Amino acid sequence: MFHEQFDDDIDAIKEPRHVKKVWESIETGFTKYLKPMLSEDNLGLDKLTSIGSVKKSAKANAPDLTKLMAKFKKSIEGFQKDSERYRSFFDHESMEEFTSSPGSFKPALNKGCPIIRQTLSSQAHELLDWHKRYNITKPRLLFDMFTNLIEFHSTYTKTTKPAAFAKFDNPDAFKFDPIEDDEECRITGVIGMGIKSAVLYHLTPILFPSRDRHSLLGFYILSDFDHFGVPTESSEFVMYDPEKKLKDGTIYSAHNYWYPYALFTLYSLRLYRELKKSFSKLNVELDDHYRFVYTRTFLHEVCGLESEKIRAFVAHDVLYRFTNEDP
């Protein structure tokens, strides 16, 4: 997708026929990439059940899943550690304390919110503009926006049953418009769905996936880099900006940081269903509580398997790194 032609593609990628084609390609990619993630050793899964990430059937062991399950275990442990920080900072009582002194919210956010802290400390060239915009953003504006986000989260988790959510199969079913489209829940060029989804994900991973860079690039790979006939003839999961060029003259490329969150959630939920089905056949039941931790890990691992292709595409980010905080 091209930055200046975003509007040309946005409606096309939401069309049911297009979604069907993209998912069929992702489904094929899933089968292709799952196999090399598995191992055939005899380590067993006994040591991987201690954190509640797996419910092992008594019928049979599944030693061929050990390699991927070890990845899941590590991801869940990292998630749990980070989640505690998010829950502590965005706790209702904690947020209430800033009501009388919103000016103190920004300094606290810089230290207390992991995704903000990491992005601020990043020296990546592509974040220079973000740093400038964020530095001049008023604390009150940040406080109001995150307050709206947390209020949405509170209402959504109270009114959306996980069992019903698990069956959603249409972007509109998620009802994410308040956090995607409402002006009260975004700060243009500063706080978009990448950061917002990181917060929601760490609060409730059964309902909110993290729409981070390597997850989008994972879908880019799983869909075989195809554009499926969209007007710009470029994959919807990536973004090109001809007006921005690197020092060597290369056109700037990145994940599509404007990608619709509801559509991303649909593909992530379908991906989890495939993971759950594949593991269930091997007598291992995944824990739905960590639904989108599993999908995020899988998508990041896909990028790891195709690190050379990622390196070639994202020329300004030459080393693939798996991180829990990925802006």
Give residue-wise pLDDT tens across range 10-40. Answer: 889 999 999 999 999 999 999 999 988 886 4
pLDDT for res 250? 55
- The average pLDDT across 69-82 equals 94
- The average pLDDT across 154-165 equals 97
Q: At 49, list the tokens.
A: 């059940």
**Contact indicator for 275, 294 with CB cutoff of 8 Å:** yes
Give the global pTM. Answer: 0.88
Counting residues of the chain whose pLDDT is more than 90, the rounded percentage is 65
Mean pLDDT of the chain: 85
| Between residues 265 and 60, the one the model is more confident about | 265
pLDDT in tens, 231-267: 888 899 987 665 555 555 555 567 888 899 999 999 9
SS3 content of the chain, % helix, strand, coil (to 5): 60, 5, 30
For residue 45, what is the DSSP state? Answer: S
Q: What angle do CA 125, 239, 234 make, to 5 degrees?
A: 150
pLDDT for res 161? 96
Q: Which of 39, 55, 60, 46 is nearest to 301 (CA)?
A: 39
pLDDT for res 41? 45
Find the helix or strand (DSSP H, E) in which 255 lies.
strand 251-255
pLDDT for res 68? 86
pLDDT in tens, 179-231: 998 999 999 999 999 999 999 999 999 999 999 999 999 999 999 999 898 88
Q: Which of 188, 199, 96, 182 is nearest to 136 (CA)?
A: 188
- Indicate whether 58 pLDDT > 50: no
- The average pLDDT across 105-114 equals 97
How far apart are alpha carbons 327 and 95 in whole angstroms?
23
Query: Residues 247, 236, 3, 293: what is their CA dihedral angle, to the nearest 10 degrees?
Result: -70
- Indicate whether 317 pLDDT > 80: no
Give Cα separations from 3 to 139, 174, 251 (angstroms).
29, 26, 11
- Indicate whether 43 pLDDT > 50: no
**Contact indicator for 221, 29 with CB cutoff of 8 Å:** yes
Q: At 229, list the tokens.
A: 């006939």
Q: At 308, list the tokens.
A: 């050379």
